[in-house]
Structure 1
Amino acid sequence: MDRWDRVGKVAGYGAALALTPYLLIKVSWVVGSLLGLLPVGAGFGMAEWVVLNSVTIGMAGIGIAVALALVRPWGMRIPGAPLAFCAWVGTGFLVPVLPYAVLSSLLDPADGNPKSGNGADPSMPVWEAALIQIGFVGMGLGLAIALPTYLRRRWPDAFAGRLGDGGEGSRRVLPWMTVVGTAVGGVWLYWAVGGTAGVAHRGERDLAWYVLCGVFGLWALAASAATWAVVRGRPARVPRWVPMVFGWVGSGSLFAWSGWKFALTLYLVVARPAGAALPEEFALAAVLHLAAVGAGAAMLRELVRTRLVPVNS
């Protein structure tokens, strides 16, 4: 085991350990609310609260399992495709927003009542909020380190070489997913700099919303550019791992976050919980998120086809 493998092993265990308190907190919320020991979150009914937190419990459990699979011997024996998919979704959720997560305490409104719709109740104790934040940041950092070392062990040639070495560049038509990703990213950046077209509830926009629109917009553009570079094999002689990394994280961000936001948008439209609304117009938000999910999935497919994960694995 070389130095990078040792670092990856520490990062994987650290990621699993960091997310465990989040899992336990979510379990306590579900059990406590069912037993009448803890209140249901503001704006939610009992069933909605239990379902939402049960979903996040499942996601946390999968995240912990993926982190352990990246460092345990059995992780090299399980099928590569489902593990790679779960790791792609996990990195897409957590790695792109690491800078925001670190600074989020400075971006919350002064009254401490966030509008980001993350499922947390405003009356949540400070220590719980801190553990949840540590869990997200720790998991994101851990995956960012442990995943590349795992890929290096399992598929040592996945990121090897330079653009153009594998015969890419035969296509003359711009890959459609890069066009869609660029368009989606452009809309998010337009909102991030203060654009109002397509915004239905301007009072719901806070600083966190602007920052997240900017973060997701930049990653959408990065994913589009990286996928274009890999598919076209340009610019020639650039190390392949550079666009692969940006394509992996950016496409995962498009797929994971827009998939989650589309589900949240549908919930807000159907259930209409009191005091909860998204800034964006429903139809536009739905189209954007569906387009982002489709583009992200298509980008991953292109990356896989161009050596991210060899077909015979």
Structure 2
Amino acid sequence: MRGPVGAAGEQTEWGIGRRWIVVGKVAGYSAALAMSLYLLVKVIWIVVGLLGNGPDDMGTAAWVVLNAVTVGMSAIGVTVALALTQNWGRRLPARPLIFFAWVGGGFLVPMLPYLVISGILTALRGGDPAPAGEGFLIGFGFLGMAAGLAVALPIYLRQRWPVAFQGRLEDRPGRPSWFPLLAVAVTVALGLLWLSWAVGGTLGITPAHRAGGGDLNDRLLDGSAGLWALVGGWSVWAFDHHRPARLPRWVPMSLAFTASGSLFAWGCWKLPMAIIRPAGYVAVDYPAVAVVQHTLSIVVGAAMLATVLSAALDRRQVADDDGRRQGWTGGEPRG
């Protein structure tokens, strides 16, 4: 199937070069394979738990439920990764596909820098950066799925909605409004809070963790979350103000999509943990602080996605108008 007509009158397949299509397919299949290994480990853990051999610090029911949730999440991840590589994936309804890709990408893609840095620091401290057995499969599953989605997802989005990623920010006049700016302000506040924890800040931290100085792994996670929040806030601000003018649209579009998904996905995961506090879970922050920050993370993540989709639809409408004026009735694939 052919995509929109280019400026020189030539057609490209779904608005993107064939070489990139091949790269996207390889990345998507790799992501599906990596997450399948993680899925296999989780299924084994459920079977082991049902046989009464689960961990001592967690009951059988809690262990099975927790792993059943991750099995469902990983199964959806495999399906999404395959959808990014197959022709039937382009025919799926846009809304559920975008939602699951947004959440899955938000969970995993921002973790790539953390996984790499954590592995390097572990090796420098004399630890084993490549644990054997189940630990290796879980780590490989996360890393492989994250890397695969980081490549396959933007290529798929660019294939299916090419016009939304074309051009520069200056192509549309700026129309600043209070809604995205409020989301940006909250996002930046969350990012600065998490970055302060990463460098040893204690605002909102419980006395027990304050006295212990904080775990290096927790600080890396806080630093990663804080940086992605600031990146997402900047991307939405750039969309809203159409600055810097010469910046290609695909840069803030991709960053805002990933960062907003991270805020939403991890907020949805951590909020129930902060409220229920299952066995073995110990939060570093006060319960009220945890509930407020994770709730805000969910809300602003959704608000940022709304801004991104609005900008994409704006761009598509301009292309449709231009096409009608030029007598072009072909176009991009619809959701």
What is the TM-score of this pair, normalised by structure 1? 0.88
Alignment of 1:208-223 (within 5 A): 208-223=217-232
For the 8 Å contact 2:191–2:229, the answer to whether it is kept is yes
Residues 1:290 and 2:304 are matched in the alignment: no
Seen in structure 2, the aligned counterparts of structure 1 residues 107 and 40 have a Cα distance that, compared at 3 Å, is farther
Range with bigger deviation, 252-261 or 65-74: 252-261
How far apart are 1:172 and its partner, in Å? 6.7
Seen in structure 2, the aligned counterparts of structure 1 residues 79 and 276 have a Cα distance that, compared at 3 Å, is closer
Provide the secondary structure at the position in 1 that maps to 2:133. helix
Sequence identity percentage = 49
Q: Give the aligned partner of residue 116 of structure 1.
A: none
1:46-98, CA deviations, whole angstroms, 9 ceiling, x for partnerless residues?
11111110000000000000000001111011101111111111111111111
For the 8 Å contact 1:22–1:135, the answer to whether it is kept is yes
Range with bigger deviation, 252-261 or 48-57: 252-261
Amino acid at match of 1:78: L
1:258-300, CA deviations, whole angstroms, 9 ceiling, x for partnerless residues?
21111221221xx4x2x54111111111101110110011000
Amino acid at match of 2:112: L
Amino acid at match of 1:295: V
Seen in structure 2, the aligned counterparts of structure 1 residues 107 and 285 have a Cα distance that, compared at 3 Å, is farther
Q: Give the aligned partner of residue 136 of structure 2.
A: 130
Quote the Cα distance in structure 2 between the aligned partners of 1:262 and 1:70: 29
Quote the Cα distance in structure 1 between the aligned partners of 2:75 and 2:281: 28
For the 8 Å contact 1:107–1:207, the answer to whether it is kept is no
Q: Which of residues 181, 198, 220 in structure 2 aligns to 1:175?
A: 181
How far apart are 1:170 and its partner, in Å? 4.4
Provide the secondary structure at the position in 2 that maps to 1:157. helix
Seen in structure 2, the aligned counterparts of structure 1 residues 35 and 149 have a Cα distance that, compared at 3 Å, is same
Residues 1:145 and 2:159 are matched in the alignment: no
How far apart are 1:235 and its partner, in Å? 2.0
Q: Give the aligned partner of residue 307 of structure 1.
A: 312
Residues 1:19 and 2:35 are matched in the alignment: yes
Provide the secondary structure at the position in 2 that maps to 1:213. helix
Quote the Cα distance in structure 2 between the aligned partners of 1:174 and 1:27: 41
Seen in structure 2, the aligned counterparts of structure 1 residues 57 and 192 have a Cα distance that, compared at 3 Å, is same
C-alpha RMSD over aligned residues: 2.3
Provide the secondary structure at the position in 1 that maps to 2:113. helix
Q: Which of residues 281, 285, 294 in structure 1 aligns to 2:286?
A: 281
Amino acid at match of 1:146: A
How far apart are 1:111 and its partner, in Å? 11
Q: Which of residues 7, 23, 31 in structure 1 aligns to 2:23?
A: 7
Quote the Cα distance in structure 2 between the aligned partners of 1:265 and 1:279: 10
Q: Give the aligned partner of residue 79 of structure 1.
A: 93
Seen in structure 2, the aligned counterparts of structure 1 residues 290 and 9 have a Cα distance that, compared at 3 Å, is same
Provide the secondary structure at the position in 2 that maps to 1:126. coil
Q: Give the aligned partner of residue 116 of structure 2.
A: 102
1:101-145, CA deviations, whole angstroms, 9 ceiling, x for partnerless residues?
134345569898xxxxxxxxxxxx831001100000100111111
Quote the Cα distance in structure 1 between the aligned partners of 2:114 and 2:96: 28
Residues 1:230 and 2:239 are matched in the alignment: yes
How far apart are 1:162 and its partner, in Å? 1.1
Structure 2: stretches of 5+ with no match in the other structure = 1-12, 318-333
Q: Which of residues 265, 268, 273 in structure 1 aligns to 2:274?
A: 265
Amino acid at match of 1:12: G
Q: Give the aligned partner of residue 115 of structure 1.
A: none
Indicate the structure (1 or 2) with the bigger Cα radius of gyration: 2
